[in-house]
Structure 1
Amino acid sequence: MRRLLTRALVWSAALVGVLLVVGAGALLVWSAADRAASDDRHDVTTVAAVLAVTNDPDAVRGALARTAAGTEGRLAVHLPDGTTIGVGQGTGRLTSVSTVDGSRAAVEVSSPAPPGPGLPLHLTVLLLSALLALPAALLVGRRTLDPVLRALRVLADTASEIAHRDGNARIRVTGPPELTALATAINAAADRTERLLAKEREMIADVSHRLRTPLTALRLDADAIGEGPVADRIRSAVTALGHDVDRIIESLHPVSTAAATGTCDVAEVVKTRMGFWSAHAEDQGRPCEVDLPYEPTPVPLAPDALGAVVDALLENVFRHTPPRSALTVAVVRHAGWVTLAVEDGGPGVVDPERALHRGSSGGGSTGLGLDIARAAAEATGGTIHVERGRLGGARIRLRLGESDSHHEPAVPRAWRLWRGRA
């Protein structure tokens, strides 16, 4: 781009210089010719003034010698008696003048007049000025275009960085409005692409995590089968499938999430999902307590999104606590908020701060479950709390904003709390 602009500046400056030199040179030549013609007229007038006084040849010769045209041999006088004084070829300009005795004489000026001594110098100065002005014009043009070139360079480098290295890079361009508009369009396209990629990764991660629920059920059923080659093959297949799902989840980059739009009743969703998990709790000898309100508990989440949250929380309980550990699930509605709490009698969460980050877990899992729950809570303007529960283990408490309650989002949105044993 720099070479292209430099060539354009060179050609433009050269064209302007040629036009200026030709135009100014023509004006100089015309001015010199006009000045020479004026000098010739002055010389003719001088000779005519002498003829008006005397026709003496010597006096006329003296007058011719005192004029520039006469000195150059371009001036002649044709007297009435046919005498010619000076140099004349009869092809110059003839001017008729009156003599002292009333007769007519002719003054001849040969043309064209030679250029004055200053014309070549003036033309040389003009040409040198044009040659010196060319690099100066290039320098000024380059300095004027430097901001545009810098803006283009930043635009190209950032676009390349977005495409090949860092999808989070954005263009900050100051320059002409056209480049600013182009940078804004590229940034908008990059933002949209990032959102689409985040959505795709999130969908894959969430779908993969939802597979953990039936896998957990299969693992529990396989444990209940007993011993034998068939049971071993089933357990091996379930374990391999679980590892594959874990690798899919771990291969995805952490991204921010947003729960699906819609409305559901928290108590109804929990009641439906506990029909599945209660059976497995019974198989493991887990005490399982469910406390649901009779009143509606609507929240702005799709039923599938909230069902995935319940499955994620309970799957963590079954995965990270020993069999026969107690389990309670409670839903409470109060002051525009619906609270979903899941407690267990296991060892608890060692690092609550780390557990709430996608892709991080202190218990050997993917760490996606609590992140799904956090995203769902924050999508309603609520919060998530990791606490020590009354059963001695972890209590995960989701505070969900009730539908149409028009309350402000809680700040901070993802507050973490780990209290001592209750």
Structure 2
Amino acid sequence: MLVFAAVTSMVAIAFVVPLCVLVRDVARERALESADRDASALFPVLALTDDPGALAIAVSRTPAGSEGRLRVYVGDSQVAGDPVAPDEHVRTALREGRAWTGTMPGGAAVVAPVVRADASIVVVQVFVHGAALHEGVHAAWLTLGAVAVALVIGSVLLADRLARSITEPVSALASASHRLGLGDLAVRVDPSGPPEVADVGAAFNTLAERVDQLLHAEREDVADLAHRLRTPLTALCLQIEQVDDHQVRALLADSAAELGRSLDGVITQARRRTRDALPRTADLVVVVAGRAAFWQVLADEQGRPTTVVLAPGPLFVGVADDELAAALDVLLENVFAHTPDGSGYAVDVHRAAAWASVTITDHGPGLAVAMVERGASSGSTGLGLDIARRTAEGSGGELRLHRGPVGGLAVELTFPLVGQSAV
């Protein structure tokens, strides 16, 4: 916009400056032409008489004469007008009969010689004050300047409106593209602006709709496949019940149960709603407190001592309540499934700068280093940690595994804070 204003100003100046010069020259020419007319008005009288009285009457009837700016010279003497000695231009006109118009101190003058029948020369001199040479010039310059400024302002406003008709739809399209890239499949734009930009907006809407349809179909296909696997899994569980060896039956049952949980995770992830236009947030303190209270009942039945430490809230993170609760349930379920009865656990929520984390530490026998590394890998599902890991990473956080202070396993989920909690 500044560039357009500068260009418009240069164009306005290119027109206004010559106009100002023209106005000045026209005013000067107008004043000199008026003086020349006053001098010419005396020519008939000068051709007939030298009588000072008659000449004085004729001089007084001209505008220049009434203002004392007109003089008549015959020979070396002045016969009419205010007494002023003849200057060089008057003497040249008396001697050579040559007219002259030009600038002199205080203004300008018109010197007009009249050659009479007897070959004598009479000279009329009309003086023009400097103010008369520039009469109306400054007012005209101010008018031209005001018109130029108004034209520049009007042009800038018009250009701004025209530019907005292009930049606003393009900016909206760029913003929508970024949101689509971040996973907001519900984003659409209102095709507007010039026809070309409107066509791009309509094409973007078509593309976003198609992407949404393809992802929805893919999620449904994955969920349908997971559901189809439940039938053979159920049959497998029934067959496991027929195994006579108790130890083998227990191992197979655990594996089948783990497979069932994995299928549940696949269905949950496949059907996760991504079209919710509202930001997904949850108060980490509230959700952790709720899930800790839910599992506390089972912990009391199994004689597991528990410790729950909650940081001052609220601590809002970019995860939906149900997803965060599902991730916590997976971690707490692992505690009950992989540690002996009577083994305690601790749940700790704390904040560090713009991050919040929840750590679940069990007091069981712990895991070997290889198991910890396997559980921390992105492809691990053996401990059912993939749901928790994806939940943390989906909001920009991470899942970390390490040994607890008493030798058990500590699972830490970290999340970046959002909204007012991040301040």
> If the TM-score is normalised by the length of the shorter chain, which range does it land in?
0.3 to 0.5
TM-score calculated relative to the size of structure 1: 0.47
